[in-house]
Amino acid sequence: MSAIKGFDEALADLNHPVFSHREHPSWRANDMKHQRWIYNFTSGSAYYCIPPFPYKGEITSFNFFPAAEVWKWYRGSGKLSPLSNFTVTNANNTFCQYLDTADRFIQENLRKNGVDIKLNTKLVEINKQTNMATFEDTKTGEKTEKEYHNLYVIPPTKPAQLLVDAGLTNKESGGLLDVDRATLRHKKYKNIFGLGEVNDIPTTKGFWNGFYQLHVVRHNLNRSLNGQSLSAKFDGRTKVPLQLGQNTLTFVEHYYDQKPGSMNLLAKNGGMIAKLRYSNWARNKKSFMDYYLGKNYGPPFYRIKKTFKDVAIGPEALVKEIPEGAAQFTPISKGSKSENAHP
């Protein structure tokens, strides 16, 4: 949060219209700003600010379409001033790094909803006392100030200190774990594998992307511990939800090298199927606990526990059986939990 001057102070104040998908550590359990400031915006300038890549929440945190839908209703009923405006600022030149069709859809849909788009524009400072936000052109370095009455911010991230101190990341990997995109093993240290959003691989990050990596890391880790070549190859598969409105949803699904998935942007028109997808997604959120509680083991076996030859309980047992002096392995998953670290 410290990367944007004044952001922490503005976010902490529940009565100030700066909010985010993250909660402030000073808040009580029932404190919330998102609902309050989305549904009580009646006039002035609204901004939605996206930080430089990489950051946590690409696509998943894009809730500007639901906001635009609500404010369209408000404008039609006279609750929102016709002089109000909504701008999305993006520190990058694209909304989706690794799938151009998704980027085009997002930009076209924003313009269709009357939302202004400012690419290569980074939020650098918030002045809570004057309601002024400072933006910087990432190409020229020129700074401009804008008055805001509603400001949503996706916080920028910084490299996890664990990776920096261990020398596992570099400038080229963007502060993420420098792994081979196919085997998910570190390019320099052969006893280190990455799992999840910590990896520097050319695909959109998210829960399902990490979930689809499970069988590759598990298989290659087992073979590495047994001195064998790594035969499992990750194809970059990912699937992240994109809200189209208050109760409509589609998914951005793709593989490496701009290859879309079979369900990519299905029902992107926001019709009945998009409503069913949203309903199903919202209803099944509880099932995600199965993944965190170890009741679902990931592809390709899912609920059937995978074991390895001569090992009853999987690769963790192999670690105990490594001969003295043999290479040890280190799984890196999800990065550090330090503030604003890469996920």
Beta 132-137 vs 121-127: how paired, if at all?
Answer: antiparallel
Containing 316, the helix (H) or strand (E) segment is helix 315-320
Rg over CA atoms, the chain:
22
Residue with the bigger pLDDT between 330 and 230: it is 230
pLDDT at 295 over 90: no
Q: Under DSSP, is residue 100 helix (H, G, I), strand (E, B) or coil?
A: helix
**pLDDT given at position 305:** 67
Query: Which architecture does CATH list for 7-153?
Result: 3-Layer(bba) Sandwich (3.50)
pLDDT at 239 over 50: yes
Cα 150 from chain centroid (whole Å): 22
Question: If DSSP states are collapsed to H, E and C, what string results for 182-208?
Answer: CCCEECCCCCEEEECCCECCCCCCCHH
The pTM (predicted TM-score) of the whole model is 0.85
Q: What is the rounded distance in angstroms from the CA atom of residue 302 to the CA atom of residue 314?
A: 14
Q: What is the rounded distance in angstroms from the CA atom of residue 322 to the CA atom of residue 254?
A: 38
Return the top range by mean pLDDT from 1-5, 34-38, 334-338: 34-38
Hey, where are the domains in the chain?
A: 7-153, 159-343
pLDDT tens-digit profile of 240-263?
Answer: 999 999 999 999 999 999 999 999
Neighbours of 328 (CB within 10 A): 10
| Average confidence (pLDDT) over 318-330 | 45
Q: What is the rounded distance in angstroms from the CA atom of residue 144 to the CA atom of residue 45?
A: 15
% of the chain exceeding 90 in pLDDT: 70
pLDDT tens-digit profile of 163-220?
Answer: 888 889 888 888 999 999 999 999 999 999 999 999 999 999 999 999 899 889 999 9
| Average confidence (pLDDT) over 53-73 | 95
- Cβ(185)–Cβ(177) below 8 Å: no
What residues have CB less than 8 Å from 118, skipping those under 6 apart? Answer: 87, 88, 89, 90, 135
pLDDT at 330 over 70: no
